[in-house]
Amino acid sequence: MSHQLVSADEVEQTPELMRLLSNVNRYFNSFRYEYDQVKHGQIDYWTARIDKFNAGDCDDYALSKRKRLIEEGVPYQCMFPTICTVGDEGHLVLIVRTDVTDLLLDNIEQRVVGVDRVKYTWLFRLDPVNKSWVALR
């Protein structure tokens, strides 16, 4: 099913979209969290194939969710990998912008929730069109 953009960077928030986001979030969150240093022998290694490696860290969860959502017809223009901090820890999540609110897909939060429901400090967002990081503070 194709999901429709309602503006340049917002997708229509339908019950079908919410089910898809929830299912994708749950599926990828079922994989084991593992630091890149342990899994790949590198401090940082980003992949959109957490399902291939059966484990990953926050950036792998976010990129894998984004890849799957694109495959399922969600327009890439409304999805923003976003760097934030949770307490003192650096973290990466996927934000999906809808015509109702910005939604969070996160390996820490099992439910898909609005970004206003979490106490994260937002730092940078990847612009999906220009492919550049945009400062949020």
Estimate the share of the chain in helix, then strand, then coil, as percent rounded to the nearest 5. Answer: 30, 30, 35
State the pLDDT confidence band at 11, using cuts at 50, 70 and 90. very high
CATH of 5-135, one of 3.30.2020.30, 3.30.2130.10, 1.10.3720.10, 3.10.620.30: 3.10.620.30
Domain range list for the chain: 5-135
Structure tokens at 73: 């017809």
What is this structure's pTM?
Answer: 0.87
* Predicted pLDDT of residue 109: 87
| Residue found by looking up tokens 């400090």 in the block | 121
Cβ neighbours, 10 Å, residue 44: 10
* Predicted pLDDT of residue 24: 96
